[in-house]
Structure 1
Amino acid sequence: MRSNTLRADLLMLLTAMIWGSVFVAQRLGMDAIGPFLYTGLRFALAVVVLLPVIHWLEKRNRQTAPVPKLNRQLLRGGVLMGLALALGINLQQVGLLFTTVTNSGFITGLYVIVVPLLGLFIGHKTGLGIWLGACLAVVGMFLLSVGEGFVVASGDWLQLAGAFVWGIHVLLVGFFASRHDPLRLAVVQFATCSAISLILALVLEEISLQAILAAGPALLYGGILGVAVGFTLQVVAQKDAIASHAAIIFSLEAVFAAVAGAWMLGESLDLKGYFGCALMFAGMLLAQLWPRPVPQATPPKAAERAADADVAHRPSQG
C-alpha cells in the first residue's frame, strides 16, 4: 500500500512538472501562430495520441471487464466539459500574450480555491480554511499583479477569469468522471475543445503551413506531453492517491511554471512579486490542508473514507 502511494505521489509530481513547463510551450508556440490555432492543433494532437491508447487498454482488459459503450450521456458530459475547457484554455492562452508565464501559473492555480467557493452555489459547505486561503491568495495576487498606478495587466485579468472557468470545469469533471469512463470523456472533451478553437482560428487568425511547422516543437510538447501524457499520468496516479497529497502536489504546478519561465524565458520578478507568489501558494495549501468539519453522525471510519474520496481534480489543460 505504501509503495503504491509513493508511486502515485511521484507520478503526480512528474505531472505537475509537465503541466508547469507546458506554460512555456504555450507562450513559445504563439511566436509563430495565433492562440486559437495553437490550442486547436495541440488538443487535436492529444486526441490522435489518446485514441490508440484507449484501444490498447480496451483490448488488454477485454477478457477481465466489459468494454464501456460510447453512449449519449457520456457524449453529453464530454461536450459540456469540452465547452468549459475551450473557454478556460483560450482565456489562458490569450492571456499569455499579455502577461508572464510566472503570473499565469500562479493565477491559474487559484482554481484550487475557486472550486469550493463555487461549490457554495450547489450546496457544498465551505470551511474556515477556504476563506483564509482565499484571503491570502487575494493579497498575493495584488502584490504579484498590481503595478504602478494600481494597474493590473490585461493578461492577469484574463488568467483570473480563466481560474473561475477552471473551477466550473473541475465541478463538471467531478460530476461526469464518476459516472463514465474518464479516458473516453477526455477524448470527447479534447475533441470538442479542438473543434471550437479551430473554428475561432479560421475566423480570427491567419493560418499558414509554414507557421504551423515553425510552431511544431511547441505543439508537440504541449499536445503530446502536456495534454495526452499529463492527463494519462493524472488518471493513473489518482487511482492510488491520497486526496490531500493530490491537491498539494498538483498545486506545485505554479512553482514549476515560475521555474520554467525563469530558466527558459529569462523571466524575473521583483521582491514584491515573489512575496505575492509565496502568499498565493500558501493560500492554496491552506485551503487544502485545513481540517474539514465532519458531521457528528458520521462514523469515524466513514468520515476518513469520505475525506480521502474528496480528490482534487485538476483541469485537464496541460
Structure 2
Amino acid sequence: MTRMRADLLLLLAAFIWGTAFIAQKYANDSMGPLSFVGARFLLSWIALAPLALYERGKAGCASLGKSDLGLAALIGFCLFAGAGLQQIGLVTTTATNGGFLTALYVILVPLIVWAITGARPRRIVLLAGVVSIFGAWLLAENGHLQKWTSGDALILIADIAWAAAISLVPIFLARCDRPYFLAFAQYGVVAFLGLVGGLGLESFSGEGLAAALPAILYAGLFSGGIAYTLQIVAQKYTPAAEAALIMSLESVFAALSGALLLSERLTPLALLGCGLILAGAILVEAEPALRSARMVVRRRRR
C-alpha cells in the first residue's frame, strides 16, 4: 500500500467518525455511556472475527508472543479509556466544548511518540497541530467556549488515552504485522470492560437498548468495525503524528453532518475553522511531497 492510499483510508475513517458523533450524542439519552461503549464494540468485535481468522490462517502469518499480546491489550485499554471517558463526558459537556477538547489529542500524539521512541517531532507537524487546534477553537461556537463542566475534564483525560493508542499502534505493527488481530483484540478488550462497567454501575432496560439500537449499529459496524480498522491498517504506512492530523478532520465532518442532518448553521468563523483544520492536514502532506520533488530535481541535475 502506498502512503497516499493509507492517508485516504485515514480520511475515510475521519469521515465515518464525524458522522457517528451525532449517534454517540443521542445514545446517551437511552442508555448508560459505558453500556453503549460496550455494546457498540461488542458488535465491532463480532464483525472483525472473520478477518482476524482469515489473517491467522494466511501462510507466513507472524506468531504472537506474550509481549505482543500485552501490547495489544494495552492499546485496547487505551481505546476503552478514550471511548468511555469521551462518552461519559458527553453527558454533561456541550457539543461545542466536546468537539474542541477532543481535537487536542492532535498535539499530544507527537509528544507521546517522542517520549516513547525518542524521535523528535518535525517542526512542520507541530505547526500543523497548532493550526488545526486553532481551527477547532474557531469551529467551537466561533471561538467562545461555554462554561466548563466535569465532562470537559473527562474529555481532556480521554485525549491522553486516544493519543497513547494512536502512538502505540505503529509499535505493535512493527513487531507483528497483524492489523486485523490488533483490531479484533482491542475491540474485545473495550467490549468486555464497557459491558462489565455498564452492568455494574449503570441502570439497564430493554426499552433503552431498543431505542439506542440504531446508534449501536452505526457506531459498532461503521465507526468501530470499519473506521478503527482502517486506522490500524493505514498506520503501518503513515506516521502516528501525521495520521492524527488527518484524523482530526473528524471535527470538520461532524460540523458538516450537523449542518446537513440537524440543520445547524455554520457561521463564517466556523467555516474558517474548518479550513484551518484542513490546512493543518494538508501541511503535513505537502512537506513530504515537496521533499520528494526536490530529490527528483537533484537527481536530474546530476
Matched, 1:178 2:174: yes
Counting aligned pairs with the same residue, the percent is 39
Partner of 1:310: none
Matched, 1:253 2:250: yes
Which consecutive residues of structure 1, in runs of 5 or more, have no partner in the other structure?
A: 295-299, 302-318
Cα offset, 1:253, TM superposition: 2.2
Residues 162, 275 of structure 1: CA spacing in aligned structure 2 closer, same or farther, 3 A cutoff?
farther
Separation in 1 of the partners of 2:56 and 2:220?
23
Q: 1:74 aligns with which of 68, 73, 76?
A: 68
Aligned partner letter, 2:259: A
Separation in 2 of the partners of 1:268 and 1:103?
17
Aligned partner letter, 2:168: L
TM-score (norm 2): 0.78
Partner of 1:136: 131
Residues 49, 129 of structure 1: CA spacing in aligned structure 2 closer, same or farther, 3 A cutoff?
same
Residues 142, 5 of structure 1: CA spacing in aligned structure 2 closer, same or farther, 3 A cutoff?
closer
Partner of 1:125: 120
Tell me the alpha carbon deviations over residues 155-176 of structure 1, each in whole angstroms, 9 at most, x when there is no partner. Answer: 4444333222211111221211
Instruction: Check the 8 A contact 1:244/1:288 in 2, yes or no.
Output: no
Separation in 1 of the partners of 2:169 and 2:239?
18
Instruction: Check the 8 A contact 1:23/1:257 in 2, yes or no.
Output: yes
Partner of 2:31: 33
Separation in 1 of the partners of 2:3 and 2:283?
22
Residues 244, 227 of structure 1: CA spacing in aligned structure 2 closer, same or farther, 3 A cutoff?
same
Separation in 2 of the partners of 1:176 and 1:236?
12
Cα offset, 1:37, TM superposition: 0.4
Aligned length: 288
Partner of 2:165: 169
Moved more, 131-140 or 215-224: 131-140
Separation in 1 of the partners of 2:204 and 2:244?
39
Cα offset, 1:264, TM superposition: 2.6
Which consecutive residues of structure 2, in runs of 5 or more, have no partner in the other structure?
A: 297-302
Matched, 1:212 2:206: no
Moved more, 118-127 or 104-113: 104-113
Matched, 1:264 2:261: yes
Q: 1:86 aligns with which of 64, 70, 80?
A: 80
Question: Which structure is higher in helix share?
Answer: 2
Cα offset, 1:100, TM superposition: 5.1
Alignment of 1:226-305 (within 5 A): 226-235=223-232, 249-268=246-265, 270-286=267-283, 289-290=286-287
Q: 2:185 aligns with which of 188, 205, 222?
A: 188
Residues 193, 247 of structure 1: CA spacing in aligned structure 2 closer, same or farther, 3 A cutoff?
closer
Instruction: Check the 8 A contact 2:99/2:136 in 1, yes or no.
Output: no
Residues 36, 75 of structure 1: CA spacing in aligned structure 2 closer, same or farther, 3 A cutoff?
same
Instruction: Check the 8 A contact 1:47/1:190 in 2, yes or no.
Output: yes
Cα offset, 1:199, TM superposition: 2.1
Residues 222, 252 of structure 1: CA spacing in aligned structure 2 closer, same or farther, 3 A cutoff?
same
Separation in 2 of the partners of 1:195 and 1:98?
25
Instruction: Check the 8 A contact 1:102/1:257 in 2, yes or no.
Output: no
TM-score (norm 1): 0.74
Aligned partner letter, 1:172: L
Matched, 1:108 2:102: yes
Moved more, 29-38 or 179-188: 179-188
Partner of 2:219: 222
Instruction: Check the 8 A contact 1:131/1:287 in 2, yes or no.
Output: no
Separation in 2 of the partners of 1:80 and 1:243?
17
Matched, 1:56 2:54: yes
